[in-house]
Chains A and B, each alone.
Chain A
Amino acid sequence: MGFIYEGLLKAFELLFNGNPETWSAVYITLCVSSLSIFFTILLGAPLGFVLGYCRFKGRETLRMITDTLLSFPTVVIGLLVYSLVSRQGPLGDYGLLFTLPGIAIGQVMLGMPIVVAMVANAVENSDSGMKDTLLTLGADNIQVLKATLWETRYHLMLAGVAAYGRIVSEIGISMMVGGNIKWHTRTITTAIALETGKGEFAMGIALGVVLLIIAFGVNFSVAKLKRRAGQ
């Protein structure tokens, strides 16, 4: 028990004394996860909307594929992205291995299915009566689209936060594509794995506390949003 207590004490010391290695990992995690979630939403939200709003052939199959991709294991994504961005791979010329944008590619792959599936679901389930009412009231298609978009705003945020929670806590992609390079690609999760392996539990616990705060913060906002979205 002693070392857990010691670890916690040391953890707060590291955080409040501004230990540069600890804060570097926190900063890098925030950078790369912001980059990832930005592109996840940018690409995922329109796709999800189209998938939920439009009726076209093959739509059901696409929905099934996105639902299946929800359980994409991070190590497999890591492996996949590694083989893509390694110098021998098809994207090798861009030099993305061991960089934050490289990690972000994998994290976008991780977050996309969540956003697409959740947004599609929300749009699909949004009040279809509303559409008819609006049309009877003389709204044109553009106005109906706008109304539907507005109605799903909370669900979109909800999808974003859910995807963010997964992105910020993953380790497989960051480790394999990022390489856990100090000051550059060492994120909170890879640093915890490293420090624990070295037997330096205090720094691991300090970073664990920060990750918990971020993850709980995200979940807390999910809970709040859910209430607002009326689910």
Chain B
Amino acid sequence: MNNQQSSGANTGSQNQVESFQYDDDIVRKFTLATLTWGLVAMLAGLYIALQLAYFKLGQNLPWLSFGRIRPLHTNAAIFAFAGNAIFAGIYYSTQRLLRTRLWSDAVSRFHFWGWQTIIVSAALTLPFGITQGKEYAELEWPIDILIAVVWVAFGLNLLQTIRIRREKHIYVAIWFYIATFITVAVLHIVNSLAIPVTFFKSYEIYAGVTDALVQWWYGHNAVAFFLTTPFLGLMYYFIPKAVNRPVYSYRLSVIHFWTLVFIYIWAGPHHLLNTALPDWAQTVGMVFSVMLWIPSWGGMINGILTLRGAWDKLRTDPPTKFLVAATTFYGMATFEGPLLAIKSVSALAHYTDWIIAHVHAGALGWNGLLSFGMIYYLVPRLWKTKPLNVSWMNIHFWTATVGILIYTISMWAAGITQGLMWMGMDSAGKLLYPDFVQTVIRIVPLYWVRAFGGLLYLSGFVLMLVNVYQAIQTASADYTNEVTDRYPRFKALTEKLFSPGFTHERLEAMPMVLAGLALVGILIGTAVEIVPFVTANSYSESIYQGAKVKHYTPLEQAGRDIYVREGCYLCHSQMIRKLDFDVVRYGPESKMEESMWDHPFQWGSKRIGPDLAREGGKFPNLWHYRHMNNPRDLTAQSIMPSYPWLLSDKTDFEVLSKKISVLKTLGVPYSDDDVSNAVALAHAQAKIIVDDLKANGATMVDEDREIVALIAYLQLLGKQIEAPQKVGAR
């Protein structure tokens, strides 16, 4: 162990002590943004929870429909609420852990205002159906570019601040911040690659199974490196600060940091278990998920055992209560995650509300409570206020905790109930609940319970807003004066990376090497899982073995874009799994090649309504026409929203040539004729559908209505393979 590290007075003789100021203004900004967007995210969540309980809410208003507001809720919770919280915490702790001011005030402010611009852009586009149709990556290409730029600005600021540090070694929290920056940059850029059609529409460069794999590599690791690693860093700073105790184990922090970085990136395919994804990729995703359990618990142990000798703080100090409860929820969610990633458990739980319970234990419990604890800790220090109201903080703690429990327990019950109902088969080989809607009605009461749990959580948060607001009213007049600290600058590095006596501490003095190793760590899993799919872009031959698969006609593609716009994938999967009860209910299992021209893939992750992979031909055109207008006309108990605007709004035919041309560039085998005649082809196909609708009694249908394009698309689902296919279980 070297002992030359600067610490307090004993190193003062070695190097001159320097005086500097911390930039806490940026932390205050991010803190206020966290509180503001937290309210928006939770209100949106409560709203969509109520829509599931009571479908008439927001009825007939396109921009308030479930499929458009759910992405707003998830994006607001992840990127606006949690995002601003981690930036606040990272900027506060990094300056103090490295004993330096942030590298650039200008870049910090660009980061802040850039991030808020992204959030406002999301709020102004998602309700209008401007989306790329991939979960947690819905934002369209101009916003994606802005995210990349702002994220890189954040990373630059972080790395440069590390470069100008006075503390020689970087603390474990900073390792986690570095891993966060690097990995999210890689994930976001790779997953968002798309070719624009217009300013508000683009097509992903990936299709079908490749898109599915890239998306869930991104989606799972957004959870890992946006909602886990930065929060672990915050935990490593705020828990020891709040309880004034040393961290439990340095050794454990080294092990669990590197195991998390290396293992997490492999786990994405557990979102695609039992699907058409090749078995080997599913198996890899599953076993790495199981191996993630213990490294995750390393973080929990280190967080909670840091309290040894200060357990009384759990009674007396509200911020500590929040931080420790958050860490406990982290432990719970990271046990549940690996469990859900086992193929046979996934068979029951996937597409059900069990997953919703799981993600909210993480989001409300881990991210939410940790952010609240951190903000309660920060507000008196950032604004130099009187202490916050302790009983209000305690009430907030209990409403939040009870709210989360009500939420998760009701969704566990709903998920397991519905999962078992989907599986249920009698001794005659018939489904016990053949009508999907039967399995929905059963859990609607639980949707009310869930909404109540969410309401409790939200009310505690409102109390926090009032508490913080009142405290800030007592801010001392000089709170904007910057905090000054004094610290000596460490001597230049003397060690070399490759010399005898290597310890992890040497790496801690070489942040860029550590960053490089973290990058290598995440690229290994990425390469093994993603590269075989992405590089097989001749994969129509190699993976699909020359299957003849229809690509979409211009009208069907227009309908598909409407399907994506309305967020249908948020309630309907298009993936019949290799599971007997899926096949009996929906028809033969989905094949990889059936979605090979899908930019983006729409396999979905939730079944609030039935799977649609073999919807084509299942019902006549008129059924869909009436069903979209009012689902209750066909299924009396349906909770699906009505989409009357599809019967009146017009499809944009003129843009079809451009769309088909972009898709042709992406490798969909359209002819030049298809591109130039796209509009005429679409009209011709629309006329056939309109004639059929009219022959069956529909009145007032024009070829250019959106419903016509959507019907064309729905009727192709499951009929992509040219050879006639057997439909039905037998």
| Interaction A to B | no
- B-side residues, CB < 8 A to A, are none
- A-side residues, CB < 8 A to B, are none
